[in-house]
Amino acid sequence: MAAAPIVEIDPVHPQPRLVERAVAQLAAGGLVAFPTDTYYGIGCDLFDKRAIERIYQLKQLPRDHELSFICADLAEVSRYAIVENAAYRVLRRKTPGPFTFVLPATRLVPDLLLRRQKTVGIRLPESPIALELVRRLEHPVISTSAATPEGEVLIDAHDIKERLGHGLDLILDGGYRPNEPSTVIDLTGPEPRVVRQGKGDAADILA
């Protein structure tokens, strides 16, 4: 399989025709690499089981590895996750931003993404490209870091093409990304809990 084409896109004001090209790939079951406010993400349609399987194969992930997904706004988050008042306050304060929030899943989340705990990881990144993809597709997009099966995170579109391009359908080049993951915050308990410290500062919600 030929390596995916690279398309340069404005990370602040993404060109609509390029967003549409990427959305067409997602809607057709394709895998698209795109910049976020942390790593580059590899994404697919939340409801395309075959595309999700392709992500697991491309990154050689174990089946119990949880994949997070991007929502367009808080209203969409509340369709896919149970958001209590305290969690909603945290989301309002911290989104959009470099966080992944662990929340109880609703029945709309495909079984393939659920583990025993029935929780989901949801992102609302400060990334015009990522949010525009979700808006135009009209439902969430899976997002996992653009990393090799060995765990090396790729922060440049050309490296992504070289190492992972054989398994992708399109790469949106928004320039270099800092090598920083999102901060993962578990909102399923009585108090917010940091599962992984990354780019996002959670000190104010833990106080």
| pLDDT tens-digit profile, the chain (207 residues) | 688 999 999 999 999 999 999 999 999 999 999 999 999 999 999 999 999 999 999 999 998 899 999 999 999 999 999 999 999 999 999 999 999 999 999 999 999 898 788 999 999 999 999 999 999 999 999 999 999 999 999 999 999 999 999 999 999 999 988 878 999 999 999 999 999 999 999 999 987
pLDDT number for residue 128 = 97
Which pair of tokens denotes residue 183?
């901060």
Sign of torsion over alpha carbons 110, 142, 128, 101: positive
pLDDT number for residue 117 = 84
What pTM value is reported for the model?
0.96
Which pair of tokens denotes residue 177?
């990304």
φ, ψ of residue 172 in degrees (nearest 5)? -95, 115
Spatial contact of 114 and 207, defined as CB atoms under 8 Å apart: no
pLDDT number for residue 71 = 98
Give the residue among 21, 4, 8 at the shortest CA–CA distance from 133: 21
Give the residue among 110, 111, 89, 112 at the shortest CA–CA distance from 101: 89
Give the residue among 72, 54, 62 at the shortest CA–CA distance from 134: 72
H-run or E-run covering 99: strand 99-104
* Cα diameter, the chain: 51
Residue 32: CA atoms inside 13 Å, Cβ hemisphere, count? 30
Radius of gyration of the chain (CA): 16
Spatial contact of 102 and 129, defined as CB atoms under 8 Å apart: no
What domains are defined for the chain?
A: 6-206 (3.90.870.10)
